Structure 1
Amino acid sequence: MSSQAQNALEENDEALRRQQLGHIVASSRLLTETVNHILSQATLTHRFQSQPPKTVSLDRLTKEVCREVVVPALQKGVEIEYLGKAEFETKGDDFALKQMIRNIIENAVKYSRPHSVVEVSLDVERSKPAAEIVLQVRDQGVGVSDEEKKHIFERFYRSSDNVHPGTGMGLAIAKEVAEHHHAIFRLKDNEPRGLIVEVVFPCDRGKRS
């Protein structure tokens, strides 16, 4: 960033100087996102070690996140639709779970096409040997290849053809939060295009009303 700023100061071509300033703005945003993710992870680590679990409303947290990110999403031409109807509770850390949900939805918005919809739902699956509470986020973006699905939860992972700016930390942090709450991630292909991200909580840790 310092080198980019110095070049912009010395550049006489106005068009090139504006391009350099744009690079500085983009680098600044990426640095801010990186620092925020590092601070968030430090906060989560501390809370996991110091805060006892309490009863948390998953549907309330999910709806709160949807309301908080709807305006930034609309600015990118993406709508967010919450489809959940039931109320669910689990034992855990509300701050951590909210951060996890935010990271998943913001990631879906980032990779969505303009004029598309990110659908968020919370429901129970009873077809398994044991019932499960499933948080699902469906986007209509570029999708993720089977090979990339193996790596997207790795810290700092960025695919070689990824043109979207990012730190590669958001989903890694989300996975840590899920594991702390004995939940797992499932990744599926959306139809006709896009990605479905599911966070599956064992039902014996949750309550439906």
Structure 2
Amino acid sequence: MDEIREKLSLPENGKKLLLHSCCAPCSGEVMEAIIASDIPFSIFFYNPNIHPKKEYELRKEENIRFAQKHGIPFIDADYDVDDWFARAKGMEMEPERGVRCTMCFDMRFERTALFAHENGFDVICSSLGISRWKNMDQINDSGIRAASHYDGITYWTYNWRKKGGSSRMLEISKDEAFYMQEYCGCAYSLRDTNKWRMANGREKIKIGEKYYGQP
């Protein structure tokens, strides 16, 4: 672990971190690095974008399992999916990394920042940025924007992909046999991913069947 990461410290002399987690595979390495740096933190699971409910529960339960294994507090926030669909109205056909994704990041980080403000956390960040499928600048902009609404809250823009972060993420996922999600999470990414798969001679995604480390 020490060969992969340097000793981390929170920005702005922060004392307590609230880590927004999208799933266990993305957050596993991030959690490992934070734990190794002796940074006090809690997991905040707020992802009303994930569709359908079965997929949401699979991702959440895997995240809870890993957090409990390491004794990390896990905050299970609301699954206000109706609000998410209302905000996404008119953006149904937008591409991945487009304005719909910005809306989605804003929604999740705004709730994260509010919880941090109300519960004594002075730094927030997210595991979303470790995925190579995401636009890190887009994620960081949403995080900074959300934190700016509250005095004393900072969004940590650390690049979790560097120094072997991405490869370690896969190692942990295989070691833990995490559930492998095959699309970003929302109904529209599921639709578009299945459309691409069918056009390329592949079966549609079967929710709940694929795990890391399987042959």
Q: Same fold (TM over 0.5)?
A: no
Normalised TM-score (structure 2) = 0.25
Structure with bigger strand share is 1
